[in-house]
Amino acid sequence: MGLQGYLRSHLSICALLLSSSASAFYLPGVAPTTYKENDKVPLYVNHLTPALSDKDSQLHSVLSYEYYHDAFHFCRPEGGGKDVSESLGSILFGDRISTSPFELTMMKNETCKRLCDEQKIDQRSAKFVNRRIWQHYNLNWLIDGLPAGQPYTDPSTNTDFTLRGFPLGSVDKEQKAVLNNHYDIVINYHDAGKGQYRVVGVLVVPSSRADSAQDCGNAKSEQTLTLSEEGENPVTWTYGVYWIPSSTAWAVRWDSYLHVFDPKIHWFSLINSSVIVVFLCGMVGAILIRALKKDIARYNKLESFALDDLSGTNGHAEDDVQEDSGWKLVHGDVFRTPKNPLLLSVFLGTGSQLFVMVGTTITFALLGFLSPSNRGSLGTVMVLLYTIFGFIGGYVSARVYKTFGGEAWKRNIALTPTMVPSIVFATFFLLNLFLWAKQSSGAVPFTTMLVILGIWFVISVPLSFAGSWMGFRHAPVNPPVRVNQIPRQIPPSTTYLRPFPSMALVGILPFGAIFVELYFIMNNMWFGKVYYMFGFLFLCYAIMIITTAAVTVLLVYFLLCAENYHWQWRAFSTAGASAGYVFANALLYWISKLSFGSFTSGVLYVGYSLLVSFLFFILTGTIGFFSAWMFVQRIYSSIKID
Ligand SMILES: *[C@@H]1O[C@H](CO)[C@@H](O)[C@H](O)[C@H]1NC(C)=O
């Protein structure tokens, strides 16, 4: 796995983007592999991952292990398993794919084959393996790019589909860990004519056979294999292969994996939340527009009265002028530079970068460019887009900083591409240390880290510098009203306008918009299902943006009416407060769905959740700030000020 692999995957993505495909889901870049009779079909092995337990429906670990971890004593091919080249996203998301000693020959049934010589599993390894069985670990294989799975019938809709992965072992009635040492591999093939065959489905039925050594346990004694933790255990790994003709076409072979668990619930909750959100936004909009119209009309009438007053024709207008209140009063302060303009502009730069990256990624996915058959394409595209959009980050940060009247432009240029990525990278590195300590394969290899650092320094940082340069060259955004010399006194505010209550109130709404989809994404992330409902995600993203903008604008309106002109940070932090709910939701999810035995799993879970929440904070904060800024620009340019 070298730079070449990355380049190749990146090039193929570029090719994918350029060629517009006729099929929405399956890509021209991923051409079918055809096999002739007696051709070898490669079986690759991926990492072992924890799966949901059937008993308590909970996940007991988040660590994954490499297939060739010594303790498992799985058979290796001659010369050891070789790494199969993967895309960057695939590695970041934990795939560790290697070659294997399995020999599958197209159309050749095989009832029992030994994989390698008898292995001796020692006490320590037995303990390790038994623990993994108790934690419901799954094996993940890839045959012709298709994940080996188990058949599953959804009880609520009675539809059959394939769950990825199959169990390492099981726990029997006597509460003993039983190891699966025989695999029946059932492969569906499709006859494409002219003696060409394609793989269109892979199921593995694992079983445990204590007497596997003799004739693959064909004696069918019901004896299962349990590993004793008090002595050495001889284990023989065996497998059988069954080729079954199928009418499934190659182009739709992924369909059985993309099963929506109860789509009705999905639709229902999505429509539910969007109706509430749309209703809410409509209300906010109506209130605001009416109130503003009244305010602006009043202000401008007062203005004309005041002018009349000067010319001495009207006597009673003076009282009305005294009554002048609300947001107009702070016109001389509303564009005053906020505290820490540097930090805010750096956050806003990064936030814009994230905003465009997420939007573009979801759009690509929606258009079918990131099909699940292209492993890791989602991760790769996200990293790549974030890197390229460094330009936007630099530009926004510089322009905002210039508008704030910032002086330390060198620091702004340097911090924009480094600050948030350093925080993310440092957290990632720390969490990786835990994974390394646990010998988990989830740890991102050091070389991959170097490659990411390289991409970041060579592409992202210069692009960001270029963006900053452009941003500083452009004129700042001119405020419609002048800033007074002396800052106004801010009257004490009511409870709900104080930072924390307002954050708690406002933050929940954008969170409400994405809550449902977040739940599905988390399910997919922690339970290894394929997430593909990008249509839903796209809608949710749009609804979230609208909601965030609407509620932040409302908050800023109330703030200004209360004569509090420190709206910049307040808009950012209040909109970003939905990240707090995202984190709380992750903790709730932990309580309800996950039960970790180990400290490391807990640390990792909390660490990754914090990281995601932090990025979400910056993203929503940025959306909130810019909508509030546009709003403030609009309303102050519509009133006359002497
Ligand atoms: C392999 O075995 C299965 C089931 O035993 C059978 O349905 C199938 O036709 C066989 N395939 C070949 C190529 O002989």
Question: What is the pLDDT averaged over residues 491-510?
Answer: 84
Q: How far is the CA of 187 from the centre of ligand 1 (A)?
A: 10
β-strands 110-114, 197-207: how paired? unpaired
Query: Is the dihedral angle over the CA atoms 514, 519, 520, 522 positive or is it negative?
Result: positive
Confidence label for 509 from pLDDT (cuts 50, 70 and 90): confident
* CA–CA gap between residue 466 and residue 398 (Å, rounded): 10
**Average pLDDT of 297-313?**
64
Is the CB of residue 243 below 6 angstroms from any atom belonging to ligand 1? yes
Centre of ligand 1 to C-alpha 109, Å, is 6
With bands split at pLDDT 50, 70 and 90, how would you rate the model's confidence at 307?
low
Is 262:602 a contact under the CB 8 Å cutoff?
A: no
How does pLDDT run across 65-75, given as a tens digit for each residue?
Answer: 999 999 999 99
Q: How far apart are CA 522 and CA 501, in angstroms?
A: 28
Q: Is the CB of 109 under 6 A from ligand 1?
A: yes
What is the 243 CA–ligand 1 centroid distance (Å)? 5
Query: Where on the phi/psi map is residue 312: left (φ > 0), alpha (ψ -120 to 50), or beta?
Result: left
Q: What is the pLDDT of residues 469-483, one digit of tens each?
A: 999 999 999 888 888
Assess whether pLDDT exceeds 90 at residue 510: no
203-251 pLDDT tens trace: 999 988 887 656 665 656 678 888 888 888 889 899 999 999 999 888 8
Q: Pick the more confident residue, 528 or 448.
A: 448
DSSP-derived letter for residue 458 is I
Q: CA gyration radius for the chain?
A: 30
Q: CA-CA distance, 312 to 628, in Å (whole number)?
A: 40
What is the predicted pLDDT for the residue at 53?
72
The C-alpha atoms of residue 567 and residue 342 are separated, in whole angstroms, by 16
**What percentage of the chain exceeds 70 in pLDDT?**
87
| Residue ID of nearest Cα to ligand 1 atom 7 | 244
CA–CA distances in Å: residue 211 to residues 116, 122, 225, 339, 577? 15, 19, 8, 74, 60
- How many Å lie between the centroid of ligand 1 and the Cα of residue 242? 6
Taking the centre of ligand 1 as the mean of its atom positions, its distance from the CA of residue 189, in whole angstroms, is 11
**Residues 92, 376 contacting (CB under 8 angstroms):** yes
- Do residues 389 and 359 touch, judged by C-beta distance below 8 A? no
Q: Compute the Cα dihedral for 590, 594, 598, 603 and give only its sign.
A: negative
8 A C-beta contact, residue 123 and residue 232? yes
The yes-or-no verdict on residue 410 having pLDDT over 50 is yes
* Angstrom distance (rounded) from CA 576 to CA 565: 19
Q: Are 601 and 63 in contact (CB under 8 A)?
A: yes
Q: Residue 590 — pLDDT band, cuts 50, 70, 90?
A: confident
Contacts of 351 (CB under 8 A, 6+ apart): 618, 619, 621, 622, 623, 625
Ligand 1 atom having least distance to the Cα of 244: 8
Task: Indicate the pLDDT class of residue 19, thresholds 50, 70 and 90.
Answer: very low
Whether 12 has a pLDDT exceeding 70, the answer reads: no
Q: Residue 406 above 60 pLDDT?
A: yes
Long-range CB pairs of 481-488 (<8 Å, 24+ gap) are: 481/331, 481/332, 481/334, 481/335, 481/636, 481/637, 481/641, 482/332, 483/332, 483/333, 483/335, 483/336, 484/332, 484/333, 487/333, 487/336, 488/329, 488/330, 488/332, 488/333, 488/563, 488/565
pLDDT at 540 over 80: yes
Distance 75 CA to ligand 1 centre (A): 26
Per-chain mean pLDDT for the chain: 83
Q: What is the 143 CA–ligand 1 centroid distance (Å)?
A: 18
Top pLDDT among 376 and 356 is at 356
Pick the residue whose CA is nearest to atom 10 on ligand 1: 243
Give me ligand 1 centre to Cα 270, in Å: 45
What is the layout of strands, in order, in the sheet containing 110-114?
110-114, 238-245, 182-191, 197-207, 149-153, 160-164
Tell me which of 41, 187, 188, 242 to substitute to probe ligand 1's pocket, judged by most ligand atoms within 8 Å of the beta carbon: 242
* pLDDT reported for residue 340: 93
> Three-state secondary structure along 563-600?
CCCCHHHHHHHHHHCHHHHHHHHHHHHHHHHECCCCHH
Assess whether pLDDT exceeds 70 at residue 306. no
Write down how long the chain is: 642
- Nearest-angstrom CA–CA distance, 203 and 201: 7
Which band of pLDDT confidence, cut at 50, 70 and 90, is reported for residue 402?
A: very high
3-state secondary structure of 248: coil
* For helices 578-593 and 499-527, angle between their N-to-C axes, nearest 10 degrees: 40
Q: Are 471 and 395 in contact (CB under 8 A)?
A: yes
Nearest CA to ligand 1 atom 2: 242
DSSP track, 308-330: HHHTT--STHHHHHHH--GGGGG
Q: How confident is the model over 375-404, as a mean pLDDT?
A: 92
d(CA 462, CA 256): 44
The alpha carbon of residue 395 and the mean position of all alpha carbons in its chain are separated, in whole angstroms, by 25
Q: How far is the CA of 38 from the centre of ligand 1 (A)?
A: 14
Residues 6+ apart with CB under 8 A from 550: 280, 281, 284, 285, 627
Q: What is the mean pLDDT of residues 399-428?
A: 93
- Ligand 1 pocket test, candidate residues 106, 109, 112, 203, most atoms within 8 A of CB: 109
Residue 319: per-residue pLDDT: 45
Compute the distance from residue 309 Cα to the ligand 1 centre, in Å. 100
Tell me the backbone φ, ψ of residue 129, rounded to 5 degrees: -65, -45
With beta carbons less than 8 A apart as the criterion, state whether 564 and 493 touch.
Answer: yes
Q: Contact 598/568 with Cβ under 8 angstroms?
A: no
- Cα Dmax for the chain: 114
**Cβ of residue 521 lying under 6 Å from some atom of ligand 1:** no
Burial grade of 297 (CB within 10 A; 0-12, 13-18, 19 or more): exposed
SS3 for 216-246 is HHCCCCCCCCECCCCCCEEECCEEEEEEEEC
Distance of CA 461 to the CA centre of its chain: 23
Would you state the pLDDT for residue 318?
44
Place of tokens 């909508």: 627
Question: Residue 546 above 50 pLDDT?
Answer: yes
The number of the ligand 1 atom at minimal distance from the alpha carbon of 108 is 13
Q: 102-106, 474-478, 522-526, 610-614: which has the minimum mean pLDDT? A: 522-526
Does the Cβ of 105 fall within 6 Å of ligand 1?
no
Kindly give the residue spans of alpha helices, DSSP state H, lying in 246-340: 263-310, 317-323
Q: Quick check: CB of 244 below 6 Å from ligand 1?
A: yes
Q: How do residues 249-280 score in pLDDT, each as one tens digit?
A: 888 888 888 766 556 666 776 777 778 777 87
Q: Label residue 313 by pLDDT band (50, 70, 90).
A: very low
Question: Which residue has the CA at smallest separation from atom 4 of ligand 1?
Answer: 242
Could you tell me if the CB of 213 is within 6 A of ligand 1? no
Please tell me if the CB atom of residue 107 comes closer than 6 angstroms to any atom of ligand 1: yes
**Taken in order 471, 472, 475, 481, is the CA torsion positive or negative?**
positive
Q: Tell me, using a 6 A CB cutoff, whether residue 242 lines ligand 1.
A: yes
Query: Which residue puts its alpha carbon closest to atom 14 of ligand 1?
Result: 109
Residues with Cβ < 8 Å from 548, sequence gap 6 or more? 509, 510, 575, 578, 620, 623, 624, 627
Of the two residues 27 and 132, the one the predictor is more confident about is 132
In the predicted model, is pLDDT for residue 300 greater than 60? yes
Which pTM was predicted? Answer: 0.83
Alpha carbon of residue 32 to chain centroid: 29
Measure the CA–CA gap between 15 and 24, rounded to whole angstroms.
16
Q: Is the CB of 425 under 6 A from ligand 1?
A: no
With helix as H, strand as E and coil as C, how does 524-535 read?
HHHHCCCCCCHH
How far is residue 58's CA from residue 612's CA, in Å, rounded to a whole number?
22
pLDDT tens-digit series, residues 139-182 = 999 998 889 988 887 777 777 888 888 999 999 888 899 999 89
Atom from ligand 1 closest to the CA of residue 109: 1
Q: How far is CA 89 from CA 46, 374, 423, 437, in A?
A: 15, 10, 20, 23
How many angstroms separate the alpha carbon of residue 200 from the centre of ligand 1? 15
Confidence of residue 91 (pLDDT cuts 50, 70, 90): confident
Expressed in angstroms and rounded, the spacing between residue 139 Cα and the centre of ligand 1 is 25
For residue 107, give the ligand 1 atom closest to its CA: 13
